Structure 1
Amino acid sequence: MTCVQSNHVSTPAHATDVQEVFTELGSRPEGLSDGAVSAALEKYGPNALPQAQEETALQRLLRQLRDPMIYVLIAAAVVTAFLGHIVDTVVIAAVVIINSLVGFFQEGKAANALAAIRDMLSPTTEVRRDGTWATLDSGELVPGDVIRLRAGDRIPADLRLFETASLRVEESALTGESVPADKNTRPVAADADLGDRSSMAFSGTTVAAGSGQGVVTATGEDTEIGRITTMLGEVQKVETPLTRSMTRFSSILAVGAVGLAVLMIIVSVILYGTDWGEVLMSAIGFAVAAIPEGLPAVMAITLALGVQKMADRNAITRRLNSVETLGSVTTICTDKTGTLTRNEMTVRAIHTREHTYEVTGTGYAPEGEILLDDAPVTTADHPDLARMAEVAVYANDASVEKHDGEWQLTGEPTDGGIRTFALKAGEDGSAQRLAAVPFDSEYKYMATVDDMPDGPIIHLKGAPDRLLERCDRQSAPGGGTEALDAAYWEEHIERLGFRGMRVLAAAWREGAETDELDTSDVDGGGFVFLGLYGIIDPPRDEVTEAVRTVQEAGVRVRMITGDHASTATAIAKEIGLRGERAITGAELEAASDSDLRSIVHDHDIYARTSPEHKLRLVQALQANGEVVAMTGDGVNDAPSLKQSDVGVAMGIKGTEATKDAADVVLADDNFATIAAAVKMGRTIYDNLRKAIVFMLPTNGAQGLVIFVAMLVGMTLPITPLQVLWVNLITAVTLSLALSFEPAEPGIMKRRPRDPEDSILDSEAILRILYVSVLIGGATIAVFQYLQMNGSSLETSRTIAVNTLVLGQVFYLFTARFSRVSALRKELFTTNPVSWLCVGIMLALQLAFCYLPFMQAAFHTTAVGWFGWVVPVAAGIVVFLAVEADKLIRRH
């Protein structure tokens, strides 16, 4: 892996001796002089991240108008206004404005991820200059400054450490590590991964324990977190599959409508000598009839309903189109820590010289059993297990307590897991502590002297290699002790490590009545080695089932984590991901773009990854034609979340930068919620497609009526204003009803749709055509029949409009079920909103026919029973025709 380094030193700071770093930066442990600070500030600028430009409210509003169909409607409004048809202009303009406002208010203010990252930087810090310590604004820091760190401090810049005391830094937001990183002053390899650079402390991370001092090697955008902000600024958000499909669809529809309108004008003027004003109004009426101007509003409302339903399932959606895109994903790239796992370290195995015990339960709740050969056991029957629980409870500074129904940890995660194991074993740690050596990353152990019933005991817990060095005996099977067999323990340490576990060891020795204990007492040896703790951050209980569900739906799950390869592989196998091993960051670094496309095709597990690796992986998957959902919680995930088709951030443990870069935020940090969101996304897409397949025959029938009338020179069966009326009430009633349809059976058993496919397939196009002909033909036939039998023009047109409306009502009933018959009880039980919408539309249509002011506005008249029976008969014919088509296709 190529080492990313500060711009201010010629070699990587983490691989360079501290004195050389001071020399290259022109600094010293006493800090910079005032003159050096001024020169550095002029050269490197302030310690600040770049500002991002926010989208204004006006820009967001104008973005709602970027649709070819809307362009045609705006042009139609302009022409009608020019011709003096103000009512038509107002109705068209109202449709456009309503559509725009729905999208504007649903989307909300655009995100600013960079502002959230800037908030991660420390506002002030302790700096040493000319030998004097002072608290300064972090923005004044320059390379070469000397910084002091204490527990709880947020680190203000990238530092090369030159003094540490039990220093541990929480870096999960940057590296993905599930536990704080131990820090020291020793150089590491130049090609060390970011998470392995133990001699460095990085801007935006937090000191978890201990203290230290370091020299600033990079500030502002040159820091590791600064590079992430640069990457964020360079990432261009990809269009969603729905946006691409709708753009193509809208363009084709708009061009087709305008082209046919022009043809109508030419034919009417040349063949029939029709007046230009009348021709233009008829052409506008045709364009408005043919274009489903209510579609953008229906789409926005359908997506908004999906947003609300997803919020009820703990998925907060920040952009409307992201709801549908979740239903189109072919790959979910997920972080491990906190998403697939609980981010709560748990003891899974105890190995002693006598037995290997398995421990059930997850997290810090002391709920679970200790099993031997799948049978529960107790410490009373197994002294070796009792000794392990004893060390776990006494050589431990963490506590787990129940607050508001939740078990919460105070202290280090690993200690919390061991404390929980002790509670499961029934050990409460009631003896008095006499003295202690706290854990330190230099010697990697913790020791306590405790006043036990049989006399003082030194309990020792820590890294296995450090404890083996201090032991000369081990617990023997059946009781007593025997000579230490280091090779035996090394073999079992490796076995637990292969299972992805972090391994700690336990030992003990008789002590003395004392209130003092130091490392020399421990390093003197003479301890008895007791056994090993196998600790892991386990998968969430519901994750395995959720992964299986999305895999059955044809969605591939890939794990991309900053954790170690063995841990990633173990968790992946446990939850059902495929792959024998994890691909490491070093391998990704060495791969070309074409090689990477092959790698992502064949592998699902990636470990020790950097932000650049995650971004490249998402780009490689997209280059392979995948629709990618990316989850994450750290600021290191922000660029890849922004690049992905759907970025999914963790709401509980995620950083604000990650949430702001994402499209969806999970309120419960749970992968199972993503699986539910995928189902919701597919349901929404189905409902959008149903709405389109429903609306287009409606518009097709209206357009066909005007088009045929103009071509053959007959009186228009419906006026352009009546067309607008039908479009408006259809959009706000019948089309909206389809937004409330539940998921169809087997929706999570089918493959994801191809994002390049048209939103309409051949079956849908054929249905649109014949339903358009049926409803449009019936409307023309009814109008001509009434005209031939002496009915007035107002009566003929009113009944023609009723035929259009009732044809659409009956078509709605069958359109609710795309593939199966609508003649089922679910037609009456699963979507009561559809019946409410039909009722509202019929009430509006009654007003259209019988209210005097409506009659005056739309040139209609009251009609008798014949004016309703004939339209109902036409609607029944439409219903039966579609049902027959579905029956033929099923068989």
Structure 2
Amino acid sequence: MTKDSRPVHAGDPFPSSSQPPTRWHTLSRSQVEEMLQTGTRGLTEAEAARRLGVYGPNRLAPPKRRGPLLRLLMQFHNILLYVMMGAALITALLGHWVDTGVLMAAVIINAIIGFIQEGKAESALDAIRGMLSPHAMVVRDGVRREIDAGELVPGDLVVLASGDRVPADLRLASVKELRVEEAALTGESLPVEKTTATVAADAPLGDRHGMAYSGTLVVYGQASGIVVRTGAATELGKINQMLADIRSLTTPLLRQVDRFGHALALTILALSAATFVLGTLWRGHAPADMFMMVVALAASAIPEGLPAIMTVTLALGVQRMARRNAIIRRLPAVETLGSVTVICSDKTGTLTRNEMTVQKVVCAGHVFDVGGVGYAPVGDLSVDGRIIDPEHYPALAMAIRAGVLCNDARLCEEDDLWRIEGDPTEGALLVLGGKTGFSQHLGDEAWPRLDSIPFESQHRFMATWHRDSDDMPWIFTKGAPERIFDMCSAQWGADGEEPLDIDTWRRMATNVAAQGLRLLALACKRAAPQGESLDFADVDAGFVLLALVGIIDPPREEAIRAVGDCHHAGIRVKMITGDHAETARAIGAQLSIGVGKPALTGAEVAVMDDATLREVAMEVDVFARASPEHKLRLVQALQEHGQVVAMTGDGVNDAPALKRADVGVAMGMKGTEAAKEASDMVLADDNFATIATAVREGRAVYDNLKKFILFMLPTNGGEALVVIAAILFELILPLTAAQVLWINMVTSSTLGLALAFEPAERGIMNRPPRPPGEALLSGFFVWRVLMVSVLMMTGALGLFLYELDKGTSIETARTMAVNAVVAAEMFYLVNSRFILAPARLSGNRYVLLAIAACIPLQLAFTHLPLMQGIFGSDDLTLLEWAKVLGAGLLVFCVAEAEKFIIRRTPLAARLHHA
């Protein structure tokens, strides 16, 4: 029986498309066993083998790969390169081998650069498959044994222990203190306590406590579970399929360059065809001679150096960002960051410190605020903004002591960095003790522990027995507020023990929880156990309630500033987290995200159609309990609204949204390999502030690319105008095709490279993001290109004709024309550093270095016999060199005069804003 032909029944883990999937989290163990025809002895070997044939192995399908040869060939799929290769073919047929060689060299160089730029193949799917457990402990025929996890089938009974990776999706049958790390799937910041209880059908993934999912990690306890889904049908498999189905989007810059390249190529072809027709039919030139002129025209107009300069400029941006802890994995992402309009950020560890911190302590009659963040034991306690001494508040002092003593975590300092060993919530209580001078070491010495009852999920509390320095017995307990409330008959007030006001405590618990804080209650009893050890009978009643403690993972200070910087730069920041809505809303308020707006949950996103979600996604800034599908839909909704989206994440659940986003940003410290491989950028420090810094660098990169294009196009335009004028007015061709390619590939690229090193201009983060559909060349840029092109044509062609009129040889006149264009480029490079501001040499030493490198190249072009043989150049005298410099100065002076005039018009303000 094949997988496609197998019968489908109600309990089928792989239902047909017409049958809704089984909601295993709503079914009891007995129902699951009945539907999958299994039990406490597991499956028989024969039945397991049969089901393996029906359902297939418990593996994820490998992705389709594009080989290196095909990737290399695809680099030639560029309309500008097609034009150049066509010209090279025809020049070869005509026997002009030097021109053919120069043209093909330009094509091959650009293809190789593109191949290297594409980088390593996408491997996010490999990373997800690497999360699957290689082995599983299974019960078959009543015997426990280890098998290859790929052989698991629905109905198998799997045994889990601490440290195991869950091998398939399981409906838990029995648990003993089971805690599972599900952050990679759900975004939940702490390990999840598991039970065997059923939950509602619409419960989000993170709240399905009776399920254990493939790829998650058992961090504590033991359990057994029935396999309900394997391979592609698991939650991990669904994410894998989502990732495989997502087509990576091209970047705004690449879209702009692509449109620009098509328009330029069509213009060049049309201009060349028109020139050829006019030259042959109107002027009567021989077709072969006319074609060589047209090749020179095409070569002069094509910006051969653009792909190389783009790559170098982006690579320099990569280096600068790497120094700021932003590791770029794909070059175009550098520039895309500069055009981002929305940043969707994960919460835990990115916007927050991932260090649980006590922020409030509620005692009878007082609410204390706790200063300081993170695990460093530094901070003050205050009431209504007034710093207090905890020793003056007996209930507070005893509550802090209880939190330190009733604790199994450890607070350690290494290399001036504080870290927690153990449960982060318990660690927060140790830090609170350190802030008030009651350290763990002091507590162990003065209040030694004699016995304890460890925390268990079914009891929801921990208790410890101590003796103080006077040899008096004490029992301390901490746990869930409602559980501790049941154990207390009194509260510790200003005058000692007093009757318990349970209504006030419950109201305070509700108020603090509404602020997004996790709550713990602390209580004590001055008594010894009834026997020789601490027992549950000793903690049933008689306790004095000390305090409620509010704990939260606080926002990073630098993230608060960075969010403000993003808002100032016109970038919306949205928080999309797997955590609870109250926690997300509280953190969002501290970060100025979604203030005064509701938080939307994943369940609410699930019932919205795409049109509604597009509108809601723009209005709401905090999204909680979000699943992978929800995150992906939110990113798509924002993109369909015309936004350029950056998405941060660290888990496998984030990988589809990271791949779909215009810029996927993964966490380097706590991120999964799947998230990193699906991303365009990795944050080495897991810090949101690094994204804001990267956006600034991205904007600078785009500015520099625009400056390069503004520098390069007039060079091509000037050369093209020289050739067109020569054809139309029946002049000798002032520049050969090989000479044009020398200018474009060698000198233009050498000079233009200096603009990649330009520092970011002042106020770059005060601008709004540029519109995603903005053209690469504005009307003003077109004017500047035309103006400088005419100036370069005037200088080069004028000098060429003047020298011919004097009787100078054609080789010398052409050499002067080439050098006039290059000299104009050198001077115009200084103009191009600032679009409107006056030219200056300081601030970018690479401009001077580029000019210094270009001068010997031109001297070699002019005076070396080898170069003269290749390019037909000739020696120049000092007077002739002076004339060349004069042609260059013409461009510089007129360009600066144009800037001066425009700076005094209303256009200047609009250009500066853009």
TM-score, with length taken from structure 2:
0.95
| Counterpart amino acid of residue 147 in structure 2 | L
Contact 1:54 1:112 in 2 (8 A): no
State the partner residue of 2:14.
Answer: 7
2:501 to 479, 485, 491: 485
1:61-72 correspondence runs (5 A): 61-72=72-83
Answer yes or no: is 1:527 the counterpart of 2:527: no
Whole-angstrom CA distance in 1 between matches of 2:291 and 2:102: 17
Secondary structure class of the residue paired with 1:758 = coil
2:570 corresponds to = 554
Q: How far apart in 2 are the matches of 1:296 and 1:521?
A: 77
Taking the TM superposition and a 5 Å limit, the aligned residue runs for 1:655-734 are: 655-734=672-751
Structure 2 residue aligned with 1:841: 854
Alignment counterpart, residue 31 of structure 1, candidates 14, 34, 42: 42
Matches within 5 A, 1:305-704: 305-428=316-439, 429-430=443-444, 431-454=447-470, 455-476=472-493, 478-512=494-528, 516-522=533-539, 524-579=540-595, 580-704=597-721
| Residue of structure 2 equivalent to 1:813 | 830
Cross-structure match for 1:223: 234
Quick check: 1:50 aligned with 2:71?
Answer: no
CA drift at 1:515: 5.1
| Amino acid of the structure 1 residue aligned with 2:513 | G
1:866-885 equivalences under 5 Å are 866-885=879-898
Question: Letter of the aligned partner of 1:732 in structure 2?
Answer: S
Hey, what's the Cα distance between the residues in 1 that align with 2:321 and 2:86?
37
Matched residues in 1 for 2:409 and 2:699: separation?
Answer: 45
Kindly indicate whether residue 191 of structure 2 is the aligned counterpart of residue 180 of structure 1.
yes
Following superposition, the deviation at residue 7 of structure 1 comes to 3.3
Cα displacement string for residues 163-219 of structure 1 (whole angstroms, at most 9, x for unaligned residues)? 111111111111111111111111111110111111111111111212111111111
TM-aligned CA deviation for residue 653 of structure 1: 0.4
CA contact (8 A) 2:246 2:656 kept: yes
2:820 corresponds to 1:803: yes
CA contact (8 A) 1:353 1:531 kept: yes
* Counterpart secondary structure, 2:227: strand
Q: 2:116 aligns with which of 81, 101, 105?
A: 105
Q: CA deviation at 1:387?
A: 1.0
Map Cα deviations across residues 729-783 of structure 1 (whole Å, 9 max, x no partner): 2243111111111111111000111111111100001100111011012211111
Q: Distance in 2 between matches of 1:34 and 1:199?
A: 27
1:841, distance to aligned residue in structure 2 (A): 0.8
- Residues 797-848 of structure 1 show CA distances to partners (whole Å, capped at 9, x for unaligned) of 11111111111111111111012121xxxx3221101110011111111111
Query: How far off its partner does 1:10 sit?
Result: 6.3
2:544 counterpart SS class: strand
Query: Which of the residues 844, 859, 866 maps onto 1:853?
Result: 866
Structure 2 counterpart of 1:457, which letter?
Answer: W
Q: How does 1:261-340 map to 2 (within 5 A)?
A: 261-340=272-351
Aligned to 2:6: none
Aligned to 2:207: 196
Q: Which amino acid aligns with 2:706?
A: R
Cα deviation, residue 517, structure 1: 2.3
Q: Which has the higher mean CA deviation after the structures are superposed, 753-762 or 509-518?
A: 509-518
Give the 3-state SS of the residue equivalent to 1:232 in structure 2.
helix
Residues of 1 paired with 2:104 and 2:399: CA distance?
77
Alpha-carbon distance change, 507 to 595 in structure 1, aligned in 2, over 3 angstroms: same
Tell me how far apart the structure 1 counterparts of residues 353 and 13 of structure 2 sit (CA, whole Å).
35
CA distance in 2, matches of 1:18, 1:551: 51
Query: C-alpha distance in 1, partners of 2:63/2:21?
Result: 30
Distance in structure 1 (CA, Å) of the matches to 2:228 and 2:434: 45
The amino acid that maps onto 1:705 is V
Asked whether the equivalents of residues 107 and 318 of structure 1 are also in contact (C-alpha less than 8 Å), the reply is no
Of 201, 206, 212, the residue aligned with 2:217 is 206
Aligned-pair identity (%): 48
- The answer (yes or no) to whether the contact 2:351–2:555 under 8 Å persists in 1 is yes
- C-alpha separation between the residues in 2 aligned to 1:720 and 1:11? 70
Amino acid in the other structure paired with 2:381 = I
Q: Which residue of 1 aligns with 2:52?
A: 41
Unpaired runs of 5+ residues, structure 2, are: 1-10, 905-914
1:865 equivalent among 868, 878, 881: 878
Does the C-alpha gap of structure 1 residues 853 and 90 become closer, same or farther in structure 2, counting only changes over 3 Å?
A: same
Quick one: which of 85, 96, 100 aligns to 1:85?
A: 96
Q: Trace 1:135-154 onto structure 2 (pairs within 5 A).
A: 135-154=146-165
Matched residues in 2 for 1:508 and 1:884: separation?
A: 83
Query: Is the deviation greater in 505-514 or in 803-812?
Result: 505-514
Runs of 4+ in 1 over 6 A off after TM superposition: none
Deviations 1:438-488 (A, max 9, x none): 111111111111222242211100000010011111111x23111111111
- Distance (Å, rounded) in 1 between the aligned partners of 2:376 and 2:838: 51
TM-score when normalising by structure 1: 0.97
Residues 362 and 549, structure 2, Cα contact 8 Å, conserved in 1: yes
Asked if structure 1 preserves the Cα contact closer than 8 Å seen for 2:13 and 2:154, the reply is no
Unaligned runs of 5+ in 1: none
RMSD between aligned alpha carbons?
1.6
Q: Which residue of 1 aligns with 2:7?
A: none
Cα-to-partner distance string for 1:467-518 (whole Å, 9 max, x where unaligned)? 0011111111x23111111111111111111111011110111232665223
Residue 519 of structure 1 and its aligned partner are, at CA, apart by 2.8
Distance in 1 between residues matched to 2:191 and 2:451, nearest whole Å? 25
Are the counterparts in 1 of residues 381 and 390 from structure 2 also a CA contact under 8 Å?
Answer: no
In structure 1, C-alpha distance between the alignment counterparts of 2:227 and 2:408, rounded to whole Å: 32
The question of whether the paired residues in 2 share the 8 Å contact of 1:285 and 1:720 is answered with: yes
- TM-superposition CA deviations, 1:23-54 (whole Å, max 9, x none): 10111122111122112211111111121123
- Aligned-partner Cα distance in 2 for 1:681–1:588: 32
Q: Deviations over 1:211-270 (max 9, x none)?
A: 111111111111111110011011111111011100000001111111111112111211
CA contact (8 A) 2:300 2:719 kept: yes
Contact conserved, 2:170 with 2:227, CA < 8 A, in 1? yes
Q: In structure 1, how many angstroms separate the alpha carbons of the residues matched to 2:408 and 2:778? A: 64
Q: Secondary structure at the match of 2:165?
A: coil
Please report how far the alpha carbon of residue 6 of structure 1 lies from its aligned counterpart in structure 2 after TM superposition: 4.7
Aligned-partner Cα distance in 2 for 1:73–1:515: 92
